[in-house]
Amino acid sequence: MPLGESNDRNGARPVKIRQAGAVPGSVPQRSPPSAIGGPFNSSRGARGRGRKATGQRTTKAKDNPNINIMHWNAEGVTNKKTELEQFLHQNSINICCIQETHLQKEKPFKIRGYQTFRSDRQGRKKGGVLTLVRNNMNASETKRYMDEAEYIEVKSGFLIAGDFNSQSQSWGYNILDKRGEDIETWQDENHLILVNDPTDPPTFYSRRWHTTKPDLALCTDDIHKNLSRKVLDQLGGSDHRPVLLTITRCTTPEPPQHARWNHKKAQWGLFRIRTNELTKDIKVEGLNINNVVKDFNASIIKAAKEIIPRGVRKDYTPYWTAELQRAHDDLTKAREEAETNPS
């Protein structure tokens, strides 16, 4: 079920993503595209609804040389937006696949620096999926699958990741249930490799079972060779921890970084006066327009350098305080204690 294609400008193989969600029902009986020339996929499982997007990387100064893909069962994303936004930027996430968004059509949801592709569960307060793609990747929705799965794709290799709500010894349980058996059969039929290791930390804290590992990732061999998986810390109060999948890729040298303009501290009145002084004597008549524009732009830049400060505090978050940091650390510590010594 191809969603679209893209070619990475930095030498990486194209990839296709599908994201799977935690809902009742068996694994979709639709096979993924073949491993050869197939997709890199992020998907949501049975009864989910979804959108698809393709991505094309472009090199920018802040780009990480790898592709970072995060998948997460948010258990409601609206009240976790601020923490999610900070998390995405701090961890240089390129593509984020979220399940259980609990969004409705009339509720807008945007994250600064990311394109939003979402599919809400109609007629229910829960459910829904959301895919966020960095603005420096060309992305578009090519098809929406409304029955059992939603996913985004970027061509070649195949990766499926999300909350599968299933049990198997292969990913750290003591038993194999029906859904886990279906997933293992589907995995074998499509020659996919399980990214999870049975010894990986649990991703979901169940008040009944204390810890479980329903969040999985499977991929083709060409992707698996360059893929790593890491279970991250608590995010936004969700019972599910986010999972980071990193694809190592070829990269071109990054251009030098330049200090950003600090517009909040600019003295705009002085800037207006200075730009008028520098541009008022620029001659236009009888001159090549390209040279005129060049002189005008140089004057604007000169005025900006004189009036507008440059540089910002690294990793500065306006709302974050020492008290919030302590509360966040206490929450993380409490969760680790609950998982290590359940009672």
- Structure confidence at residue 70 as a pLDDT band (50, 70, 90): very high
Question: For all residues of the chain together, what is the average pLDDT?
Answer: 75
Looking at residue 151, its pLDDT comes to 53
Question: What's the average model confidence in pLDDT over 50-56?
Answer: 35
Lowest mean pLDDT among 29-38, 201-210, 282-291, 321-330: 29-38
- The answer to whether position 99 is within a domain reads yes
Residues 185 and 282 in one domain: no
Final residue before a domain boundary, out of 191, 217, 248? 248
Q: Provide the total of helices (H) and of strands (E) in the chain, helices listed first.
A: 6, 12
pLDDT given for residue 298 in this prediction? 93
Specify the number of domains making up the chain: 2
Give the torsion through C-alpha atoms of 237, 78, 51, 88, to 10 deg: -60
The candidate with the shortest Cα–Cα distance to 113, out of 74, 87, 76, is 87
Q: What's the mean pLDDT in 160-177?
A: 87
Whether 95 maps to a domain, the answer reads: yes
Does some domain include residue 253? no
One domain, residues 199 and 94: yes
Check residues 263 and 313 and name the one with the higher pLDDT: 263
Query: Does position 186 have pLDDT exceeding 70, yes or no?
Result: yes
Q: Please tell me the distance from the alpha carbon of residue 117 to that of residue 140, in angstroms, as a whole number.
A: 9
Give CA 155 to chain center in angstroms.
17
Q: Is residue 235 domain-shared with residue 160, that is, in the same domain?
A: yes
**Of 169, 170, 165, 178, residue with least CA distance to 204:** 165
Two tokens at 326?
């302590």
What local confidence, expressed as pLDDT, does residue 44 receive?
A: 41
Q: What are the C-alpha distances in Å from 259 to residues 46, 113, 302?
A: 47, 19, 15
With CA atoms as reference, report the closest residue to 234 among 207, 202, 197.
202
> Does residue 125 sit in the same domain as residue 268?
no
Considering the domain architecture, whether residues 240 and 182 belong to the same structural domain is answered as: yes
Q: Which of 251, 254, 246 is nearest to 219 (CA)?
A: 246
Last residue of a domain, one of 248, 283, 301: 248
Q: Is residue 41 part of a domain?
A: no
Sequence-ordered alpha helix ranges (H) in 151-231: 178-189, 221-224
Q: Is residue 216 part of a domain?
A: yes
302 by Cβ neighbours in 10 Å (0-12 / 13-18 / 19+) ranks as middle
Res. 181: pLDDT tops 80:
yes
Q: Which two tokens stand for residue 315?
A: 């990793």
Instruction: Judge if 91 and 237 occupy the same domain.
Output: yes
pLDDT-based confidence at 255, cuts 50/70/90?
low
**Confidence class for position 252, pLDDT limits 50, 70, 90:** low
**Which residues, in sequence order, are CB contacts of 65 under 8 Å at separation 6+?**
248, 249, 251
Residue 51 lies in a domain: no
Pick the range with the lowest mean pLDDT from 94-108, 123-137, 304-318. Answer: 304-318
Do 193 and 214 belong to one domain? yes
Least confident of 61-75, 100-114, 173-187, 231-245: 61-75
pLDDT above 70: percentage of residues in the chain: 71
Q: What is the CATH number of the domain that holds 193?
A: 3.60.10.10
Residue 9 in any domain: the answer is no
Question: Highest mean pLDDT range out of 3-7, 171-175, 190-194, 267-271?
Answer: 267-271
Q: Provide, rounded to the nearest whole percent, the portion of the chain with pLDDT above 90.
A: 22
295 with 324, same domain: the answer is yes
Dihedral sign from CA coordinates of 130, 77, 84, 113: positive
Q: Which of 321, 315, 304 is nearest to 262 (CA)?
A: 304
Rounded to an integer, what distance in angstroms lies between the CA atom of residue 311 and that of residue 258?
Answer: 9
- Tell me, yes or no, whether 173 and 279 share the same domain: no
* End position of a domain, from candidates 198, 221, 248: 248
Instruction: Output the pLDDT for position 38.
Output: 29
Question: Is residue 75 situated within a structural domain?
Answer: yes
Is 266 or 271 the better-scoring residue by pLDDT? Answer: 271
- Non-local (6+) Cβ contacts of 70 within 8 A are 88, 91, 93, 95, 96, 97, 232, 242, 243, 244, 245
- Host domain of residue 170: 66-137+153-248
305 lies in the same domain as 329: yes
| pLDDT of 201 strictly over 90 | no
* pLDDT tens, position by position, 118-161: 888 877 778 888 889 888 877 777 666 555 555 544 446 678 88
In a shared domain, residues 108 and 228: yes
267 and 295, same domain (yes or no): yes
Using CB atoms within 10 Å of the CB of residue 343, give its burial: 0 to 12 exposed, 13 to 18 middle, 19+ buried.
exposed
